[in-house]
Amino acid sequence: MASIPHQALNPPIRTLLGPGPSSIHPRVQMAMSAPLVGHLDPYFTSLMDDTVALLRYVFRTQNKLTFPVSGTGSAGMEAAFDNFLEPGDVAVIGVNGLFGERMVDNAQRTGATVIPVTAEWGKIIHPEDIEKALKSQKKVKLLSLVHVETSTGVLQPLLEASKLAKQYEALYLVDTVTSLAGHEVAVDDWGIDICYSGTQKCISCPPGLAPFTVNQKALDTLQKRAQKVKSWYLDLALLSAYWVTGRVYHHTAPVSMIYAIHEALAIIAEEGLEARVKRHLKNGAAFHAGIEAMGLKLHAEAGHRACSLTTVRIPQGVDEAKVRQGLLNEANIEIGAGLGPLRGQVWRIGLMGYASSEENVVLLLNELEKQLTRQGYRPEPGAGVAAALGVLRAA
Amino acid sequence: MASIPHQALNPPIRTLLGPGPSSIHPRVQMAMSAPLVGHLDPYFTSLMDDTVALLRYVFRTQNKLTFPVSGTGSAGMEAAFDNFLEPGDVAVIGVNGLFGERMVDNAQRTGATVIPVTAEWGKIIHPEDIEKALKSQKKVKLLSLVHVETSTGVLQPLLEASKLAKQYEALYLVDTVTSLAGHEVAVDDWGIDICYSGTQKCISCPPGLAPFTVNQKALDTLQKRAQKVKSWYLDLALLSAYWVTGRVYHHTAPVSMIYAIHEALAIIAEEGLEARVKRHLKNGAAFHAGIEAMGLKLHAEAGHRACSLTTVRIPQGVDEAKVRQGLLNEANIEIGAGLGPLRGQVWRIGLMGYASSEENVVLLLNELEKQLTRQGYRPEPGAGVAAALGVLRAA
């Protein structure tokens, strides 16, 4: 057995302004290197308690079962569908982007019937379309929406749909992967029954965990399941016994990642959730103004644009991949490409968590201008930065 | 929204000699704090290639689909059963401990029929019993065994069962969570079709990933599935498109954890797999000798004792929890309690990865002697350490 060649770990220093992961605070970076303890160590279980309390604060919920799933945001999505749907159930799911489509795939794998409510990629799902779908079925078990569609940058209104879910006695499930701790999310006040997120967006923690919360009404439906939950790893009854009721061993918790999310949540609590949301809104608005001042177009429907994730339409004649590569190679800035039908149509730009700063708004608009100029698209020099600063000064 | 109280991250410095996580090398600890990059960054994809190559080395396989599942070892188990079983299939599963039982639970949730082959907790599964089970069915899709049962410390022989699997045309699935990189594991030479592990045992990386490998013969069976794999998150066809064939976006990889496993695997490659296995065998044998010299009894069947995980029978009159608490509070050493029918009967002691050292063998035997003496069980002073050192000097 000869050994095999491998590189020494030496990552470049990037500014992460794509669809995630976002740049993280140095305190979160350091947290993962804290001394490893066992997952049943009294120190670790006290940190679990803290993490649960901090997550309740961020989700704005009193839900007992509030914890990070030991997998990325997509594992959170799977936990949601896998526990609350089974063969014979009907789910109404909003689909206006890739993550809505993924919800449909997840829901179908449970054996449930899915009624998709579609809208163009870049538009919101309309409440009247949701109601039509709910009305069309004898009994809908679950209504599901994505708060911020990471593929389109659309911010979905959630309140009217919540009322509809109550009216038609369906569980209300919301994906807050790209909104939690960036946009306002109020699980209890908004009547959300099941909610999951990811760590690597506005929470600014490395990817690897999925914050999750579910209320008692939803949990009570688990008693009525005809079949066991398909997934042992994501079975909420087992996870609840570990996280909430008795520290009953389930799987080995990812200790170092829990250190990271604990630190990231602590930073959020110290900043304050309201202040954090205001910061995201302000920097997002400034960036949008800067983009439009450069003569570029925002893809998402006006009035429903997320501040955490922005889709910018690629101007004609511009090689979008060259712009991304130029930003990466010359300025160490990562932005994202379009997905699915928006491939080659948009860039996806994140201003999330620690990365949502005046500094990054100015940095990105300036570097983007340089790359666009090189591609023959010549915005008025400095117009983007000036417009963004105007918004920031007025705020 | 008032903020909420939380503690500053400040874990105690433990020596982790329980059933996992094991203590990690300082280089692995530092790796997680390396600058975060995006999961599609060319730097990260080059690190993915490295990680795959290093995992192939550790599994001793040429399998193309070799990668870390984005979840703990239990997610690896679920990926194995979920992809290769569906309703109508029959699985023969060895059950002589908690993780065999967990395999049965996982397999049953797929809708497959499970034929368990049982043995007492602490004994191996006998090949003749496996053959009886294989013979009893018209067609068995999969035969599954745990290499080292973390609940009992039994090292299961794998070669005869491999021949039986070939003879009865069943896929051969092996759990190497507590053996990989500690005991000899040779996926290709031993005819293992599907194999998963965990990071937090003999690999000495924090928990959070499940090394996984599967050969083409097993992958070919995926084409013949009647139903989609139940799990989107663990669907190997999708994961293969991300890890092997085209870096097609699936979920956001847990970047910092990949840094950690890359570093842990690099350390293994630098030590050399053979040298590492020898080190585990030597320290395990020394520890076993020390335990017996103290008049204590090993629970696992003689001749089939793992060196990575040892079960020590609790002497009559000794309060097992007080011994564990004493070790933790006075010496910062973690050892594990018994599980299931062995609760209160045994301690579970790990000498895994970075933690498998002469230093830790001596440390633990000495501290254990102190705690036992306090409990009224008085081994001859220093006898355990002396016996262990005798084995180590002779090696």
On chain B, the residues whose CB falls within 8 A of the CB of A103 are none
Residue-wise pLDDT for A302-320, tens only, equals 999 999 999 999 999 999 9
pLDDT by residue, tens only, chain B of 395 residues: 456 888 999 999 999 999 999 999 999 999 999 999 999 999 999 999 999 999 999 999 999 999 999 999 999 999 999 999 999 999 999 999 999 999 999 999 999 999 999 999 999 999 999 999 999 999 999 999 999 999 999 999 999 999 999 999 999 999 999 999 999 999 999 999 999 999 999 999 999 999 999 999 999 999 999 999 999 999 999 999 999 887 888 999 999 999 999 999 999 999 999 999 999 999 999 999 999 999 999 999 999 999 999 999 999 999 999 999 999 999 999 999 999 999 999 999 999 999 999 999 999 999 999 999 999 999 999 999 999 999 999 98
Domain ranges of chain A: 26-270, 273-394
Residue among A33, A72, A73 whose CB faces B33 most closely: A33
C-alpha A170/C-alpha A143 separation (Å) is: 6
**pLDDT on residue B1:** 47
**pLDDT on residue B246:** 79
C-alpha B266/C-alpha A33 separation (Å) is: 18
Residue with tokens 């109550």: A166
Whole-prediction pTM: 0.97
Looking only at the bridges linking them, the beta strands covering A210-214 and A194-196 are antiparallel
Please list, in sequence order, all residues whose beta carbon lies within 8 angstroms of the beta carbon of residue A278, skipping any fewer than 6 positions away: none
Residues 224 to 243 of B: which have CB under 8 A from any A CB? Answer: 228-233
Do residue A254 and residue B206 have CB atoms under 8 angstroms apart? yes
A186 shares contact with chain B (CB less than 8 Å): no
On chain A, the residues whose CB falls within 8 A of the CB of B178 are none
Contact B299, B123 (CB under 8 A): no
Query: Which of B17, B37, B263, B265 to probe the A interface (max A CBs under 10 A)?
Result: B37
Structure tokens at B303: 């001749």
Q: A26-270: which CATH number, 3.90.1530.10, 3.40.640.10, 3.10.180.10, 3.40.50.11540?
A: 3.40.640.10
Alpha-carbon distance values, A33 to A340, B69, B113, B257, B271 (Å): 37, 22, 44, 11, 23
**pLDDT on residue B2:** 53
- DSSP-H helix ranges across chain B: 26-31, 42-59, 73-84, 98-109, 127-135, 159-167, 216-222, 236-240, 255-271, 273-293, 320-331, 358-374, 383-394
What SS3 class is residue A140? coil
**pLDDT on residue A298:** 98
The neighbour count for residue A295, using CB atoms within 10 Å, is 14
Q: What is the CATH topology of the domain spanning A273-394?
A: Aspartate Aminotransferase, domain 1 (3.90.1150)
Gap from B45 CA to chain A (nearest CA, Å): 11
Alpha-carbon distance values, A106 to A44, A74, A252, A383, B200 (Å): 32, 10, 25, 44, 29
C-alpha B307/C-alpha B155 separation (Å) is: 9
**pLDDT on residue A388:** 98
C-alpha B328/C-alpha B331 separation (Å) is: 6
Residue-wise pLDDT for A161-220, tens only, equals 999 999 999 999 999 999 999 999 999 999 999 999 999 999 999 999 999 999 999 999
Structure tokens at A140: 């809908």
Q: Which residue of A has its CA nearest to B13?
A: A35
Alpha-carbon distance values, B240 to A72, B74, B85 (Å): 17, 19, 18
Contact B293, B386 (CB under 8 A): yes
The neighbour count for residue A123, using CB atoms within 10 Å, is 17
Q: Which residue of A has its CA nearest to B251?
A: A74
C-alpha A183/C-alpha A176 separation (Å) is: 9
Closest C-alpha to A38, from B194, B275, B17:
B17
Considering chain A, what is the average pLDDT of its residues?
97
Q: Given a cut of 90, is residue A5 above it in pLDDT? A: no
Task: Look up residue A354 and give its DSSP letter.
Answer: G
A43 shares contact with chain B (CB less than 8 Å): yes
Residue-wise pLDDT for A354-386, tens only, equals 999 999 999 999 999 999 999 999 999 999 999
The long-range contacts involving B182-185, CB below 8 angstroms and separated by at least 24 positions, are B182/B148, B182/B276, B182/B277, B182/B280, B182/B307, B182/B308, B182/B352, B182/B353, B182/B356, B183/B147, B183/B148, B183/B155, B183/B277, B183/B280, B183/B281, B183/B306, B183/B307, B183/B308, B184/B277, B185/B58, B185/B59, B185/B60, B185/B147
Radius of gyration of chain B (CA): 21
Do residue A3 and residue B272 have CB atoms under 8 angstroms apart? yes
Gap from B305 CA to chain A (nearest CA, Å): 23
Q: Given a cut of 60, is residue A2 above it in pLDDT? A: no
Of the pLDDT bands very low, low, confident and very high (cuts 50, 70, 90), residue A1 is very low
Please list, in sequence order, all residues whose beta carbon lies within 8 angstroms of the beta carbon of residue B201, skipping any fewer than 6 positions away: B20, B21, B22, B73, B150, B177, B178, B180, B182, B308, B309, B350, B352, B353
Do residue A9 and residue B255 have CB atoms under 8 angstroms apart? no
C-alpha A247/C-alpha A255 separation (Å) is: 14
Residue-wise pLDDT for A66-118, tens only, equals 999 999 999 999 999 999 999 999 999 999 999 999 999 999 999 999 999 99
C-alpha B370/C-alpha A359 separation (Å) is: 58
- ipTM given for this complex: 0.97
Of the pLDDT bands very low, low, confident and very high (cuts 50, 70, 90), residue A246 is confident
**pLDDT on residue A265:** 98
Please list, in sequence order, all residues whose beta carbon lies within 8 angstroms of the beta carbon of residue A159, skipping any fewer than 6 positions away: A190
Residue with tokens 């984005």: B70
Structure tokens at B202: 């003999």
C-alpha B105/C-alpha B144 separation (Å) is: 13
